[in-house]
Amino acid sequence: MIVTIDGPSGVGKSTVTKALAARLGFECLDTGATYRAVALAMLRRGIALHDHLAIETALTSVRLEMPPGRVLLDGTDVSADIRAPHVSQGASKVAVVAAVRRFLVGVQRAAATGRNMVCEGRDQGTVVFPDAACKFFLVADARVRAERRAAELAAKGRVVSVEDVLADQEERDRRDAERDLAPMKPAADAVIVDTTYLTTDQVIATLEQAVRSCPTDRT
């Protein structure tokens, strides 16, 4: 069974995805890790991340696999390597490359084949798993999202003002919503959950109840 959780940054997708999967006994698909892995692959091949044509050509030689709890790039476990700051920054650059998004749709679908999985991202319910049994799209007030993100960064030792986070967030939301390939939007059959005034436990409980009531004959 596939469950998708989409939405912009700061709505609590990652936390909710992990907790929901644990309650259901499912696995998680970290789609962000797939973009980081592609960025790492390009960096290791010496390819400039602004060179979209070179990236598209290089993708033919990239082998990316997502066994439970790991990320394998060309047969090597890079689960820790993809968390390096420069790789995370590179992920946002390769994410705008149409060829990368098409390539990763195949990777993500292959990773979920035959597995019960909660998949989190921005286009999981619309593009990657349009036939998922249960789909959610999380939303929240923009300032609340920015405050959450600023708190996350502070916990990691990065002090960034809420106003700066808000400005970056608005720009990213605009890009995600307006891009031609896989724009960020709720699937027509997604359940929209506003997390602004809900605790994390309340969001998880809401999603868990919906999943347990979901028909499973679509997967």
Lowest mean pLDDT among 39-53, 112-126, 167-181: 167-181
216 burial (CB, 10 Å; 0-12 / 13-18 / 19+) is exposed
Query: Cα–Cα distances in Å, from 157 out to 65, 154, 169, 183?
Result: 31, 5, 19, 32
pLDDT digits (tens, 9 = 90+) for 68-102: 889 999 999 999 999 888 998 898 889 889 999 99
**Spatial separation of the C-alpha atoms in residues 23 and 17, rounded to whole Å:** 10
Count of the separate structural domains present in the chain = 2
Domain boundary among 71, 88, 115: 115
The one-character DSSP state at 81 is G
**Spatial separation of the C-alpha atoms in residues 37 and 62, rounded to whole Å:** 10
- Here the tokens at position 196 are 């602004």
Residues 6+ apart with CB under 8 A from 136: 3, 4, 5, 6, 7, 125, 190, 191, 192, 193, 207, 210
- Domain identity same for 125 and 193: yes
The CATH number for 50's domain is 3.40.50.300
Question: Would the pLDDT of 113 be above 50?
Answer: yes
- Here the tokens at position 145 are 């999202």
Write out the DSSP string of 182-212. Answer: S-----TTPEEEE-TT--HHHHHHHHHHHHH
Lowest mean pLDDT among 29-43, 166-180, 190-204: 166-180
Query: With b meaning 16 or more CB within 10 Å and e meaning fewer, what string describes 77-93?
Result: ebeebbeeeebeebbeb
Whether the CB-CB separation of 29 and 119 falls below 8 Å is answered with: yes
Report percent pLDDT > 70 for the chain. Answer: 98
- Domain identity same for 21 and 100: no
Domain boundary among 58, 80, 115: 115
Closest CA to 137 of 202, 207, 199, 205: 207
- Domain identity same for 134 and 182: yes
Local structure of 96: helix, strand or coil: coil
- Domain identity same for 129 and 218: yes
pLDDT digits (tens, 9 = 90+) for 10-65: 898 989 999 999 999 999 998 989 999 999 999 999 999 999 999 999 999 999 99
Phi, psi of 168 (to 5 degrees): -65, -40
Query: Whole domain around residue 70: which residue ranges?
Result: 31-115
- Domain identity same for 35 and 65: yes
Domain boundary among 81, 115, 149: 115
- Domain identity same for 102 and 125: no
